[in-house]
Amino acid sequence: MRAPLATIVGIGELTPRRSTTGESSLGLMAEAAALAVADGGLGPEDVDGLLVGQQYGEIPMHVPASVAEYLGLRPTMANVVDLGGASAAGMVWRAAAAIRAGMCEVVLCVGGAARPATGFPKSSYRAPIREYDVPFGASGANTTYAMIAQAHMDTYGTRAEELAEIAVRSRANAQLNPAAIFHGQPITVDDVLASPIISRPIHMLEAVMEAAGASAIVVVSPERARSLGRAGAHLLGAGEKVTHRALSSAPTVTTGPLKDAMAHAMAQAEVGLADLGNYQLYDCYTIVVGVTLEDLGVVAPGKFGPWLADHDFSPTGDFPMNTHGGQLGFSQCGLAGPMSHVVEAVRQLRGEAGERQVPDPRLSMVTGNGATLSEAAALVLGGTS
Amino acid sequence: MTLQIVDTHADLSVAPPTPTAESQPWWDALREGRFTVQTCEACGTAQGYPRTRCVRCWSGHLAFADASGGGELVTHSEVHRPGQASWSALAPYYVGLVRLDEGATLLTHLLTDALPEGRRPRAGDRCDVVPMRVGEWVLPFFRVHG
């Protein structure tokens, strides 16, 4: 295993809520940022790097400046990372690169969203996907992920029950996480299949639930982490790949760019599949988990369905996956959803996951997925002790 | 080749296309019942939507060529809860990806009336373009054949 590229020393996460009344996304992100910086044993004056995500029409331009101003930061490196669900993992690698390039020393990565009861604010936009998808009746992620799932079923004979099983397991893990929005609400395969079809073959319970919340992490150099004297998670390797925006331009519809991103992350970390001990895999829809397992190489293409029966995703199982409940069980609070996978990996590696602690977490594979298997980022994280 | 424009969806009131200077000739041809595909004169690549440059070789020598109108279904979904409320009146309906015989892939609205009763579309099905009037526009829908 290689020397670490950077270290996550602080995490902060708000408990997801279905909706907010009057709060701003900036306000929620500030709360998560304060938690993360304090958790790292640092203060606001230490933060000199800032990575933020898109703000859903709330702040159409100049997002880093808006966040920095709100938090009273004067960063020497600030950027939007606009990789959708891959933004959080993408931020971690960029933070490491910025630190190593001498741009800054302490990077705050933060994402979150307020969510009025009427839903996330929508902004109008012009893009090819607006011109060539929306006028035909295909808009939103549901329809596109449905086409990916349908392709998997047509190509490999994947069954609806197998996809549903992934949602059931996420919910099962969420029962060990009091912060998860579906804590206290386990489900069965029959529940999933009885839930309304949104866009065939996707049922309502196979899609993440939107919520309000925020998450933040703090990335520093391994040397700085050592001087802080706190347990954290070392970034050992990362990978990223962007292949398309609309599914009509995807190189394939049954695999995704995470295949290359995860391979790069493991090669850079100088580790193999046998070194991984917990998996925090982006799960906006059940089909994404199936494709990611195949792209990771733990199971042959097309075979994730039958493979499920022989493997256990619980914290004490042979394949601990999305131990916080995944976004399917935890909820998707804007970009805090993707960040929840990073935060959970740090908790597991620190040994702070409580009731859902993986006995031997070894290394974490963390993935992010943006647009519709379009933007991918992967991280290999390891403990600092 | 000029195709008959079909009027069965003329009263549908949904978000229209948002043409640019690059795509206007493609939409104009559809109004005349012609289905074209932008093709690179340097390398022969047919691309899914009009651009200023070839997506493969970046040549600026591009032309709109009449397409055969035939293609193969890559994947599809039956939409029950449309992302835009204006489509709800038609739900459930089918959308899918069609790989044209020229090689480009388009997202489109699928017509399934040529399939036997109870038969759903599936990957590999042959499809033919149907120029469909939707409000003020003519869109290239595709009919799925088993």
On whether residue B139 sits in a domain, the answer given is yes
Quick one: pLDDT at residue A119?
Answer: 80
Cβ of B107 and A249 within 8 Å? no
User: CA of A194, closest CA in chain B: separation in Å?
Assistant: 14
Give the domain ranges of chain A. Answer: 6-116+208-383
User: CA of B1, closest CA in chain A: separation in Å?
Assistant: 22
Buried b (16+ CB within 10 A) or exposed e, A106-143: bbbbbbbbbbeeeebeeeeeeebbbbbbbbbbbbbbbb
CATH number at residue B86: 2.40.50.840
* Domain range enclosing B86: 24-145
A56 pLDDT above the threshold of 70: no
On whether residue B81 sits in a domain, the answer given is yes
Find the CB nearest B105 among A135, A154, A248. Answer: A248
Chain A interface disruption, residue of B9, B47, B79, B99, most A CBs within 10 A: B79
A248 Cβ under 8 Å from any chain B Cβ: yes
A286-296 and A258-269 are packed helices; what angle lies between their axes, rounded to 10 degrees?
Answer: 50
If you average pLDDT over residues A26-31, what whole number do you get? 90
Q: Which residues pair with A249 in a beta bridge?
A: none
Tell me how far the alpha carbon of residue B127 is from its chain's centroid: 10
User: How would residue A62 be classed by pLDDT, with cut points 50, 70 and 90?
Assistant: confident
On whether residue B16 sits in a domain, the answer given is no
If you average pLDDT over residues B87-95, what whole number do you get? 96
A198 Cβ under 8 Å from any chain B Cβ: yes
Mean pLDDT lowest among A174-178, A275-279, A330-334, B67-71: A330-334
If you average pLDDT over residues A284-306, what whole number do you get? 98
A140: left (phi over 0), alpha (psi -120 to 50) or beta: left
Buried b (16+ CB within 10 A) or exposed e, A322-352: bbbbbbbbbbbbbbbbbbbbbbbbbbbbbee
Quick one: pLDDT at residue A140?
Answer: 87
Quick one: pLDDT at residue A124?
Answer: 56
Quick one: pLDDT at residue A63?
Answer: 87
Residue B120: CB atoms within 10 A of its CB come to 14
Model-level pTM? 0.93
Percent of chain A having pLDDT more than 90? 84
Q: What is the pLDDT of residues A363-382, one digit of tens each?
A: 999 999 999 999 999 999 99
A139 Cβ under 8 Å from any chain B Cβ: yes
Q: What is the dihedral of CA B110, B112, B115, B121, to 10 degrees?
A: 50
Quick one: pLDDT at residue A122?
Answer: 61
Cβ of A126 and B84 within 8 Å? no
The complex scores an ipTM of: 0.95
Fold of the domain spanning A6-116+208-383: Peroxisomal Thiolase; Chain A, domain 1 (3.40.47)
Domains of chain B: total = 1
Cβ of B76 and A253 within 8 Å? no
If you average pLDDT over residues A153-174, what whole number do you get? 98
If you average pLDDT over residues B103-116, what whole number do you get? 97
Q: What is the DSSP secondary structure assignment for residue A23, as one 8-state letter?
A: -
User: How would residue A357 be classed by pLDDT, with cut points 50, 70 and 90?
Assistant: very high
If you average pLDDT over residues B51-63, what whole number do you get? 91
Q: What whole-number distance in Å separates Cα of residue A84 and Cα of residue A254?
A: 20
> Is the CB of residue A82 less than 8 Å from the CB of residue A94?
no
A190: its two tokens? 């029959």
On whether residue B108 sits in a domain, the answer given is yes
A308: its two tokens? 């499920």
A254 pLDDT above the threshold of 70: yes
Q: Is the dihedral of CA B73, B130, A139, B91 positive or negative?
A: negative
Residue with tokens 């859902």: A356
If you average pLDDT over residues A271-300, what whole number do you get? 98
On whether residue B6 sits in a domain, the answer given is no
A120 pLDDT above the threshold of 80: no
User: How would residue A125 be classed by pLDDT, with cut points 50, 70 and 90?
Assistant: low
Q: What is the DSSP secondary structure assignment for residue B52, as one 8-state letter?
A: S
